[in-house]
Chain A
Amino acid sequence: MSSLTQTSTETLTETPRLGTETAIQIRKMNKWYGNFHVLRDIDLNVAAGERIVIAGPSGSGKSTLIRCINRLEEHQSGQIIVEGIELTNDIKDIDKVRSEVGMVFQHFNLFPHLTVLENCTLAPIWVRKMPKARAEEIAMRFLEKVRIPEQAHKYPGQLSGGQQQRVAIARSLCMEPRIMLFDEPTSALDPEMIKEVLDTMIELAETGMTMLVVTHEMGFAQAVADRVIFMDQGQIVEQNTPTEFFNNPQSERTKLFLSQILGH
């Protein structure tokens, strides 16, 4: 088992895995696109080290929810508190939260004009003011962890989709974030490449990183998640441990959803 972050895995096995600390706190949060009520009365507490999978039909607001957590989307009412910082219009707070929260996108969003290594060192150098040599050292370590150090000097366009997504994960980890958000990280990948990305995410989960993952990969949810959240029409419909969620769904909506995605 290889560890993705510097937190040593031994200490994690001895102490209870979930800290008592709260990483993210969302209270009565609402969001509208124009007149369309996308997120309705969202209440969610995420403990440090917790791994949450968010599932639901498309248009249910799950991507919007995690995009509110690093304020790529603005919420209109309610509270979001990330690592003790409340998200308001204060740009300083937003930048502080963003440097603690990493995000992996469906379409990777690597910077095509920079090499893989430059993609990884950019934010540590400019946001963390890290010397270039040190940033490169850290970047190489994470590129080794996601098993593509040999691609460091290539441009993203020369890599396969799976490799690009692993670079994107490494790029986020280089900022040494405390929370990682994944927005459908495998949805744009060829079936053959999904596994390499999921493996990387599983390894990351084993290091005790706080993770919120929007995905349709129910196998991943069963293997890694502490909690599965099911959303529909902008609301949290049901949440439970993976075992309970898959074996004993409560609401009709959840049952229908599960039968549709697991039924074939």
Chain B
Amino acid sequence: MSDANASPAYLRTEMLPSAAPPRRQEGLLGWLRENLFSGWLNSLLTVLSLVIIWSLIRHFWPWFAHSVWRANSLAECRQIITQTWGEGATGACFAVIRVRWHQYIFGFYPRAEYWRPILTLGLLFIALAPVLFSVNANIRRWVLAGGGLLCMVLLAVTASPDWTVVLVWALFAAALLLAEYAPMRLLMVTALYPVLAVWLLWGGSPWYPFMLLMGFAVGYGVSALVPRGVSALTGIAVTVLWWIFLAAPAASLATLILPLHLPVVQSSVFGGFLLSVVIGVSAIVLSLPLGILLALARQSNMFIIYSLAVVFIEFIRGVPLITLLFVALVLLKYFLPPQTHFDLILRVIIMVTLFAAAYMAEVIRGGLAALPKGQYEAADSLGLNYWQAQRLIILPQALKISIPGIVGTFIGVFKDTTLVGLINLYDPLKGISDVVRSEFTWKGIYWEPFIFTGAIFFVICFSMSRYSMYLERRLSREHR
């Protein structure tokens, strides 16, 4: 070696083969040393953490261990706990969940009609599966199967009529078959889902919402017929004209031909997770496109559009959601002609959507700003027009960058739906719990309902978070 270094001339005669890396310490002991006891400070922190975790468990465990599931009142619960575990023992009274769980899920929805929200939930799985899992057939299969199973369990515990069980079986069998052989066909369910959901949940005739949806199809069809320059404007105009003048008569005509009727359910009886999911899913689905448009408007060179977007976003973000909900409850009526019926849940959905869209716009703007300028220039230099460049080049990349932020906003919006409890709707956290507690038998019960609703919220939000990680992994693998 020293000889080689002594003179400046050196010639390698053969190249070194690649060698295996040095082995790390293997096994459990090696892992422990590396991760928990790598130095005295680290060891100290590990021990301290273990002590804290242990004391927490010691404190709370008896409360869970003593929990009572079969009782008819809080007093009875306490009596059972004292009898079994002695004077002064504490314990959870989950009996309240056992007795009143259906109110936490369905609110005051008529019991005989429980199958309708359950079916709506099942269809939600079928509608979302081809959109969320367009690539991975295996996960799609499991999601569909899981959704079907969940519906079956819900139908069983709500003692729904047998024919609904058969219906759900048939539906999911068909969905699984379609997912296997023609997954794109499932998108038909996705397109029709808004109509089906509104019809199933609120009842009445499906034709009016269907004709509203048809407005888009009619507008699109007409826009394809007229010359390119005016096609977008014509499409929008035709859609709006259809809604104003033709949707209602067309719906009456369709009702005459095929009267599909379900018993009407008023918005006032909606509550619990049914209400949260209806508001949450609608706001999430609507706020994404609105947020994208707002983000693009905020990047626009056109002064008016830019200013409108900035004012809207900053106004909405500067106001607490609860203010917007009060506007939905009280103020909106003043701006509408008297006697107009404007459903409260619809008003709340609009407000929550606007709120979410403002945050969404800022998240997506971050993604747009993160793209190198060269991407815009390359798209321009190839002759793509603005919308083509946005749709094909810019948004796919910007949205991919923004996935964590977008899903974070979704999760926030879903949890914020509990705020509707403050405008006299029965949200699962406060509204329903107040109702339950107002009855003498369950007066003074707090923790158990919170834990129950919290657990359901956690499952839903955690699923969204895992989905975002799956999507990020998938896209980063594909795009590199």
Residues of A within 8 A of B (CB): 70, 72, 91, 95-96, 98-99, 101-103, 105, 107-113, 122-123, 126-127, 155, 157-158, 171-172, 175
Residues of B within 8 A of A112 (CB): 397, 479-480
Query: Would you call B382 and A109 a contact (CB within 8 A)?
Result: no
Q: Please give me the residue from chain B that is nearest to A154 by CB atom.
A: B480
Rounded to whole angstroms, the CA-CA distance of A113 and B372 in the bound complex is 13
Rounded to whole angstroms, the CA-CA distance of A127 and B396 in the bound complex is 19
Q: How large is the interface on B (under 10, 10 to 19, 20 to 34, 35 or more residues)?
A: 20 to 34
Rounded to whole angstroms, the CA-CA distance of A172 and B378 in the bound complex is 10
Closest Cβ of chain A to B14, distance in Å, is 23
Closest Cβ of chain A to B301, distance in Å, is 11
Closest Cβ of chain A to B7, distance in Å, is 28
What 1/0 mask marks residues of chain B from 394 to 421 whose CB sits below 8 Å from any chain A CB? 0011001000000000000000000000
Given contacts A103-B381, A123-B383, contact A113 B396 (CB under 8 A): yes
Residue in contact with B377 in the complex, picked from A109, A123, A172, CB distance below 8 Å: A109
Rounded to whole angstroms, the CA-CA distance of A201 and B382 in the bound complex is 19
Rounded to whole angstroms, the CA-CA distance of A171 and B480 in the bound complex is 20
Task: Tell me whether B307 is interfacial, beta carbon within 8 Å.
Answer: no
Given contacts A113-B396, A155-B478, A158-B480, contact A126 B374 (CB under 8 A): no
Residue in contact with B392 in the complex, picked from A98, A126, A157, A175, CB distance below 8 Å: A126
Query: Would you call B374 and A105 a contact (CB within 8 A)?
Result: yes
19 examples of A-B residue contacts, CB within 8 angstroms: A70-B380, A72-B380, A72-B381, A95-B385, A96-B383, A98-B383, A101-B381, A102-B381, A103-B378, A105-B374, A109-B374, A112-B479, A113-B479, A122-B382, A123-B383, A123-B384, A127-B384, A171-B382, A175-B382
Residues of B within 8 A of A (CB): 372, 374-375, 377-378, 380-385, 388, 392-393, 396-397, 400, 475, 478-480
Closest Cβ of chain B to A27, distance in Å, is 23
Q: Please give me the residue from chain A that is nearest to B378 by CB atom.
A: A109
Closest Cβ of chain A to B332, distance in Å, is 40
Residues of A within 8 A of B383 (CB): 95-96, 98-99, 123, 127, 175
Residues of B within 8 A of A175 (CB): 382-383
Given contacts A105-B374, A155-B479, contact A98 B381 (CB under 8 A): yes
List 10 additional contacts besides A107-B374, A109-B374, A127-B384; criterion CB under 8 Å. Answer: A70-B380, A98-B382, A99-B382, A112-B397, A113-B479, A122-B392, A127-B383, A157-B480, A158-B480, A171-B382
Residues of A within 8 A of B377 (CB): 72, 103, 105, 109
Closest Cβ of chain B to A35, distance in Å, is 21
Shortest 9 CB-CB contacts between residues of A and residues of B:
A99-B383, A157-B480, A109-B378, A109-B374, A123-B382, A98-B383, A103-B381, A127-B383, A113-B479
Rounded to whole angstroms, the CA-CA distance of A110 and B372 in the bound complex is 11
Query: Would you call A70 and B479 a contact (CB within 8 A)?
Result: no
Q: Please give me the residue from chain B that is nearest to A158 by CB atom.
A: B480
Closest Cβ of chain B to A203, distance in Å, is 21
Query: Would you call B400 and A113 a contact (CB within 8 A)?
Result: yes
Closest Cβ of chain B to A6, distance in Å, is 19
Residues of B within 8 A of A123 (CB): 382-384
Residues of B within 8 A of A110 (CB): 378
Q: Please give me the residue from chain A that is nearest to B371 by CB atom.
A: A112
Q: Please give me the residue from chain B that is nearest to A72 by CB atom.
A: B377
Query: Would you call A111 and B380 a contact (CB within 8 A)?
Result: no
Residue in contact with A109 in the complex, picked from B375, B396, B397, CB distance below 8 Å: B375
Closest Cβ of chain B to A179, distance in Å, is 12
Q: Please give me the residue from chain A that is nearest to B377 by CB atom.
A: A72
Closest Cβ of chain B to A176, distance in Å, is 12
Rounded to whole angstroms, the CA-CA distance of A105 and B381 in the bound complex is 10
Residues of A within 8 A of B479 (CB): 112-113, 155, 157
Query: Would you call B392 and A155 a contact (CB within 8 A)?
Result: no
Query: Would you call A113 and B382 a contact (CB within 8 A)?
Result: no
Query: Would you call B381 and A126 a contact (CB within 8 A)?
Result: no
Closest Cβ of chain A to B392, distance in Å, is 6
Residues of A within 8 A of B397 (CB): 111-113
Residue in contact with A155 in the complex, picked from B374, B400, B480, CB distance below 8 Å: B480
